[in-house]
Amino acid sequence: MIDATALAEKPVLTGARIRLVPLAIRHAAAFHAACQDPETRRLTGTHHDFTLAELQAWCAGSADRADRLDLAIEDRESGDFLGELALSQIDPPNAHGSFRIALVPDATGRGIGSEAIRLLLDHAFDRVGLHRVQLEVYDYNPRARRAYEKCGFEVEGRMREALFWDGAWHDVLVMAVLRPGRAGGAG
């Protein structure tokens, strides 16, 4: 069974190079800057043009959301904002949740995403008690797909032409990791 109170608690999860901390208002400006980056928008399929005010409100309310976990990824030494991730859409009877991650452009290609994913999966499986975590990734993002696979995610399906981006239709891959078969983590 899952422990729903674990979502209300907003942990600090520390890795070798990064720290996952509760998303807060202090992250809003850097979060907003990342959301303006065209490549970040493409990789996340973000059509909405978030304003700074929208992200300030989202970050400020993050600590009060007891049904999901939104964390900022920070450099462990400098405290710089490297991105954010979320565990959401929790289905308690089926011990299932959804995951997403977005890194700032300078944080990609260095293993930061994989480290953040492993930290969050450890928390999702060991503390929250989830059995399954799923995500969606676009067919034009093989780097993210490889990172997810390194963390134990497997492709389960394909939603054909589910994203319209830059004048073309793209497939969305559904990937998931199960607690029993997890690679690259503690479980």
- What is this structure's pTM? 0.91
Residues 6+ positions from 65 with CB-CB distance below 8 Å? 7
pLDDT (tens digit per residue) in 105-158: 888 888 999 999 999 999 999 999 999 999 999 999 999 999 999 999 999 999
In this structure, of 133-137, 160-164, 182-186, the range with the lowest mean pLDDT score is 182-186
β-strand 168-178 against 96-103: which pairing, if any? Answer: unpaired
- Tell me the pairing of strands 168-178 and 154-165: antiparallel
Under 8 Å between Cβ of 52 and 106:
no
Please state, in angstroms and as integers, the Cα–Cα distance from residue 84 to each residue in 55, 59, 117, 145, 184, following that order: 12, 11, 11, 17, 20
